[in-house]
Amino acid sequence: MNNYFENTKVAFSLKSDTELERAYFLFKLIANQPLVRIGTAVTNFAIKAHLPVEGLIRATVFDHFCGGISEVDCIPVIDKMFTKGVSSVLDYSVEGKEDEAHFDEALEKILKIIVFAKEKKSIPFAVFKPTGFGRFELYEKLGKNIDLNSEEQSEWSRVEQRFDTVCKCAFENDISLLIDGEESWMQDAADNLVLKMMQRYNLQKVIVFNTIQMYRWDRMDYLKRLHDQAKAEGFFIGMKIVRGAYMEKEIERAKERNYPSPICESKEATDKNFDEAVAYMMQHLDSMAIFAGTHNELSNYKLLELQNNAHLTKTDHRIWYGQLYGMSDNISFNLAEEGFNVAKYLPFGPVRDVMPYLIRRAEENTSVAGQTNRELNLLKVERSRRKNK
Ligand SMILES: Cc1cc2nc3c(=O)[nH]c(=O)nc-3n(C[C@H](O)[C@H](O)[C@H](O)COP(=O)(O)OP(=O)(O)OC[C@H]3O[C@@H](n4cnc5c(N)ncnc54)[C@H](O)[C@@H]3O)c2cc1C
């Protein structure tokens, strides 16, 4: 891999000295596991008790990991990143709201983003979460083949309608649409719904992307089965490939309820599964498009090697590299500098509503110790590079 992702001047070219110091301070805090645990508990309490902590959250984690409260707030960040060739995926990150008014509000938000994206080359994708459009329990029931009562049936048809409205809007505006992957026990119903959307809107090219989480050992089979179906019926497959964000929860639930864990037996097995899916998709680009959502340097490097070895152009529209805003700028900005297609998820939403997302980021960076250390080291290198200039 040589030093492909180590150019910190390129990685942090958009960060002022103050922003660089803030990032360094933040990752130092996040690296401290007990502090994150206490900090998370205190913040959750403070938010529930309506204590005035939003200013503090904004000045620290929020501004580092989010683009703002509204999509308009995000414009300066989007424009700035695009000067370096890095695109944005505006991610309305409000989670855990389980009523019809919020589902409709999320739908309106995504529709607005698609129309907004049409005007901006810097926003090639829109994104949403299945549970942003319908109740988790409903997905879960359908996944288990439990009959819905008549009220639930009409509730589910509204979920389907929301999926269709947003996919149709993406199709008409020619904006690609990523659909996030969530917990395994709701994912079957979401997969079925996304399949319907691919059958409807991916007939000429990929508009709709599902997500496969390669920490699940059954996903390679799923991908191959989907491919067979796509060939037989003549639709294209869009797939975001990730490792998966809910590992602890998945393992704990399987243990509690005494069923086999859906998660690969080790990190190495997940890595192998991830590589296999990437290689499979790269071999079938005639009918697929891939969005690799990963902060793993080696995974990004392996994909770019496959791309180079196949003599594909760096801007091939079927291949995208994706990272989250506030993380792994060394990967995003160095890939973009080389001319590859790169997009960063740029979350936004009211401070208290994006807290579940922010807590996941803090916990993820704490648990993946190597990743935090890598961020810290890169920030350290860049600080001293600037000092010795
Ligand atoms: C642009 C983007 C979009 C994303 N969208 C989604 C999404 O829709 N749904 C979703 O679930 N996640 C999503 N993620 C998060 C992603 O799934 C990972 O949690 C995160 O990126 C860390 O994995 P990695 O490949 O970056 O890095 P690595 O550090 O290489 O991998 C860490 C991951 O490996 C797996 N792992 C770790 N230890 C073990 C073990 N002992 N056994 C088996 N597996 C293990 C876990 O999945 C863990 O998260 C997204 C990430 C990005 C960058």
Q: Band the pLDDT of 374: cuts 50, 70, 90.
A: confident
Q: Tell me, what's the pLDDT at 293? A: 98
215 CB within 6 A, ligand 1: yes
Tokens of 380: 């350290």
Distance of CA 339 to the CA centre of its chain: 21
Model confidence band, residue 1 (pLDDT cutoffs 50, 70, 90): low
Q: Is the pLDDT of residue 33 over 80?
A: no
Cβ of 300 below 6 Å from ligand 1: no
> Which of 242, 297, 300, 367 to probe ligand 1 with, by most ligand atoms within 8 A of CB?
242
Picking from 341, 352, 275, the residue whose alpha carbon sits closest to that of residue 62 is 352
Rounded Cα distance between 222 and 238, Å, is: 14
CA of 212 to the centre of ligand 1 (A): 11
Question: Amino acid identity of 104?
Answer: D
Least confident of 26-30, 132-136, 327-331: 26-30
268: Cβ below 6 Å to ligand 1? no
Measured on CA atoms in the order 357, 359, 362, 364, is the torsion positive or negative? negative
Distance of CA 296 from the midpoint of ligand 1 (Å): 9
Rounded to the nearest angstrom, the distance between the alpha carbon of 10 and the centre of ligand 1 is: 25
Instruction: Please give the share of the chain, as a percent, with pLDDT higher than 90.
Output: 79
| Tens digits of residue pLDDT in 219-238 | 999 999 999 999 999 999 99
Residue 103 pLDDT: 95
369: pLDDT strictly greater than 60: no
Confidence at residue 359, expressed as pLDDT on a 0 to 100 scale: 82
Q: What is the mean pLDDT of the chain?
A: 93
Mutate to test the pocket of ligand 1, among 185, 191, 243 (most ligand atoms within 8 A of CB): 243
176 vs 1, more confident:
176
SS3 21: helix
Ligand 1 geometric centre to CA of 267 (Å): 10
Q: Provide, rounded to the nearest whole percent, the portion of the chain with pLDDT above 70.
A: 98
Q: Could you read off the pLDDT of 239-256 as tens digits, one per residue?
A: 999 999 999 999 999 999
Pick from 71-75, 97-101, 202-206, 289-293: least confident: 97-101
Q: Which residue has the CA at smallest separation from atom 45 of ligand 1?
A: 267
Mean pLDDT of 192-203: 98
For residue 36, pLDDT over 80 is answered with: no
Whether the predicted model's global pTM rises above the 0.85 cut: yes
State yes or no: pLDDT of 120 exceeds 90.
Answer: yes
Instruction: State the DSSP H helix or E strand holding residue 205, giving kind and residue range, or none if neither.
Output: none
Does 210 contact ligand 1 (Cβ within 6 A)? no
pLDDT, position 157: 97
- What is the rounded distance in angstroms from the CA atom of residue 379 to the CA atom of residue 279? 32
Residue 366's pLDDT is 66
What's the pLDDT score for residue 386? 94
Nearest-CA residue for ligand 1 atom 25 is 294
Q: Is the pLDDT of residue 194 over 80?
A: yes
Angstrom CA distances, 279 to 167, 301, 309, 315, stand at: 27, 13, 12, 18
Q: Which residues pair with 210 in a beta bridge?
A: 239
Dist. CA 301 → ligand 1 center (Å): 16
Show Cβ contacts of residue 241 under 8 Å, excluding neighbours closer than 6 positions: 211, 212, 214, 274, 277, 278, 281, 290, 291, 292, 293, 294
- Please indicate whether residue 323, judged by its CB atom, sits closer than 6 Å to ligand 1: yes
* pLDDT band, residue 28 (cuts 50/70/90): confident
Nearest residue to 230 via CA among 210, 258, 214:
210
In this prediction, residue 254 carries a pLDDT of 98
pLDDT band at 370 (very low <50, low <70, confident <90, very high): low
Contact 137, 159 (CB under 8 A): no
Q: Would the pLDDT of 24 be above 60?
A: yes
State the distance from the centre of ligand 1 to the C-alpha of 294, rounded, in angstroms.
Answer: 7
For helices 17-30 and 369-387, angle between their N-to-C axes, nearest 10 degrees: 150
For residue 298, the ligand 1 atom closest to its alpha carbon is 30
Cβ atoms 174, 208 nearer than 8 A: no
Highest mean pLDDT: which of 17-31, 42-56, 60-74, 260-274? Answer: 260-274
DSSP of 307-336: HHHTT--TT-TTEEEEEETTS-HHHHHHHH
Compute, in angstroms, the gap from residue 44 CA to the centroid of ligand 1. Answer: 24
- Judge if the beta carbon of residue 211 lies within 6 A of ligand 1: yes
350/314 Cα distance (integer angstroms): 36
Q: Is 87's C-beta closer than 6 angstroms to any atom of ligand 1?
A: no
DSSP state of 61: I
Question: Is 313's pLDDT higher than 80?
Answer: yes
- Ligand 1 within 6 A of CB of 249: no
Residue 66 has a pLDDT of 93
Which residue would you say has higher pLDDT here, 34 or 87? 87
Residue range 273-288: average pLDDT? 98
